[in-house]
Structure 1
Amino acid sequence: MTSRETVRALLTAQHPDLAHLELREVDGGWDNKLWRLGDELGVRVPVSERAPGLLRAEQRWLPELAARLPLPTPVPVRVGEPSALFDRTWTVTRWVHGEPADRVPISTADSAEALAGFLTALHRPAPPDAPRSPTRGVPLADLRDGFTEALTVLDDDRIAGAAREVWDKAVAAAPWSGAPVWLHGDLHPANVVVRAGRLAGVVDFGDLSVGDPATDLAAAWVLLPEAGPFLDRYTFADDATVARSRGWAVLRALILIAIGRDGRLGLPGGKPTWEPAGHAALSRALA
């Protein structure tokens, strides 16, 4: 794990005008360790094998996308290059103020409008060289085996049967026929922040990719207390897209439960706030 001393040394070597700012370790993160730098900046340092590639995608695309997004995002403002001190890229970003929604859930009705505006602005056709993912933006049928495995985290056969029914309807729904659109790819409670109960920012664009917008529309159930107001406001919510979105929401909820329960499905654990967030999302998606 990268130490405070190492991060300070990296800043001194590559961005000395920022090196004097207070540096505080932040609890959280998945592929990257997060540090707060002063009041308005953050430092993201890779800890997983895939993290450098994800950071490069953020460095390349997020500044361009953020210009049209109506919610704050952790836009890269400086790039750290591999060096003798640290052999991977790293990033200095804009800090997004608020508390993660896995700790302080979204509770205000106007958050539905905020999320709908954000995703409507994001979900525009992407260029041919935009990043693609094998697990985001793809037909749900491609993830059938993963869903069956994820379903094993549920101990209640009745709930598992209801989840399977929603999933089967999602797989059977008409596929996305439009151009691949930009996706956040990983909208769950730990990747958005809340202020006074309202959605106040979206973070961690490491899974930025393109494809079916239903991947992101799962957030209607995963993040919000009620999906209906969001679906009334989002531009492209036809019946088939809503059906696919509910399937994505069920899958995302099961993964949150697995990670929160000390790790299941071959995933690391250590995120105890994710299990209750996953159960809440699953209840909403099955309602």
Structure 2
Amino acid sequence: MSRAWVGDDHVVRLNTDGRFRDAYRHEARVVDLLAGSEVPHARRLAHGDGPDGPWYVSERLPGRTLDDAWPAADSHTRRSIIESLGAALRALHSVPVPPDLLPPWLSGALSGQPWPAFHPPVWSAALRLVEAAWGSHGRDPRLLADVAAWIQERRELFAGDEPVLVHGDLHGANVIVDQGRVAGLIDFAEALAQPADAELDTLLRWCARAREFPPTPDAQGLDEASLAEVPGWLHGAYPELFAREQLRERLNFYDLWVELALYAHHPRPDVRDVAHGRIVLLLSGRNHLDRLVW
């Protein structure tokens, strides 16, 4: 859990969730990589550890979140926002990045520690999730065997990929807009080195299932119908992001990662049941991407 205080010029955040204790340190490292780039972002002013937990101070960007601005924006403004988002992502994916960059919690989870979150995808580690699910009580062994075979058939899709700096959690709450343009990308706590099209995983899931991304726990997510043109606008602004051969299969692979992580590690049976159903659909060639056009 994090708390935030937003002032006229600064934003102060306090992380009180011990599962993500190194999140601000990781974010500071990523933001430092952005220095001198064309990526719109909030400058880091200071970060550290205090008696109440890790803290992080950044400048306040002008404007408000895309989630807040979207409902009242007209079609022209919405398109302008998404086109500037495409430019911001192109700049982000051009920033030199250490090839082993991972959020500390994710690195720990992949090494056998608890899973406090379930994204972003790391394609090379998918079979570890299958093994973790095999070792968990109550999982479906026949489904997992099918998943393992499905993954093995698609691993060559990623052969030779060059990792870039990927935000890892891109949706309406993590984009600040002002005067019809993106003023900054925020919350780099899950940024990592992965193929550029991994960026589309959360973004397209948000477009198709926006109600699952409420800006705050007691709020509602955007109406998915209002986001129907977002993938096409983004494609027009950043066509290279959609240019990979067999893109749909690659996106299916990223989607499987998220659902498989939930199925293997989520503590709630109802959430695991939903993930199980979505994995079954995905293996049959269907998922939320069927509702999107780009």
The reply to whether residue 67 of structure 1 matches residue 51 of structure 2 is: no
Q: Which of 114, 131, 143 lines up with 2:84 in the alignment?
A: 114
1: CA distance between counterparts of 2:239 and 2:57? 32
- Contact 1:104-1:197 at 8 Å conserved across structures: no
Equivalent residues in 2 for 1:270-281, closer than 5 Å:
none
Amino acid at match of 1:104: A
The reply to whether residue 175 of structure 1 matches residue 158 of structure 2 is: yes
2: CA distance between counterparts of 1:171 and 1:114? 33
Question: Could you say what secondary structure the match of 1:111 adopts?
Answer: helix
Q: Structure 1: give runs of 5+ residues left out of the alignment.
A: 1-30, 149-166, 256-263, 267-280
- Contact 1:226-1:284 at 8 Å conserved across structures: no
The reply to whether residue 230 of structure 1 matches residue 234 of structure 2 is: yes
Q: Normalized against structure 1, the TM-score is what?
A: 0.58
Question: Could you say what secondary structure the match of 2:165 adopts?
Answer: strand
Determine the structure 2 residue equivalent to 1:40. 9
Percent identity (aligned)? 26
**Per-residue CA distance 1:20-48 (angstroms, 9 max, x = gap):** xxxxxxxxxxx4211113x1210010021
Distance 1:127 1:70, change over 3 A: closer
Determine the structure 2 residue equivalent to 1:240. 246
Question: Could you say what secondary structure the match of 2:158 adopts?
Answer: coil
Q: Which of 103, 120, 127 lines up with 1:136 in the alignment?
A: 120
Offset at 1:49? 1.4
- Contact 1:183-1:215 at 8 Å conserved across structures: yes
1: CA distance between counterparts of 2:125 and 2:244? 19
Determine the structure 2 residue equivalent to 1:80. 48
Q: Name the count of aligned residue pairs.
A: 213
Determine the structure 1 residue equivalent to 2:66. 101
Equivalent residues in 2 for 1:146-185, closer than 5 Å:
174-175=157-158, 177-185=160-168
Q: Structure 2: give runs of 5+ residues left out of the alignment.
A: 111-118, 134-149, 208-226, 262-269, 273-286
- Contact 1:42-1:93 at 8 Å conserved across structures: yes
Q: What's the C-alpha RMSD, in Å, of the aligned pairs? A: 4.0
Question: Could you say what secondary structure the match of 2:68 adopts?
Answer: coil
Distance 1:62 1:284, change over 3 A: farther
Q: Which of 186, 191, 194 lines up with 1:211 in the alignment?
A: 194
Amino acid at match of 1:61: V
- Contact 2:101-2:193 at 8 Å conserved across structures: yes
Offset at 1:55? 0.3
Q: Normalized against structure 2, the TM-score is what?
A: 0.57
Determine the structure 2 residue equivalent to 1:21. none
- Contact 2:65-2:177 at 8 Å conserved across structures: yes
2: CA distance between counterparts of 1:250 and 1:98? 35
Determine the structure 2 residue equivalent to 1:123. 93
4+ residue runs over 4 A deviation = 170-173, 246-253, 281-287
Offset at 1:77? 0.6
Structure in which a larger fraction of residues adopt helix: 2
Larger RCO, structure (CA 8 Å, separation 6 or more):
2
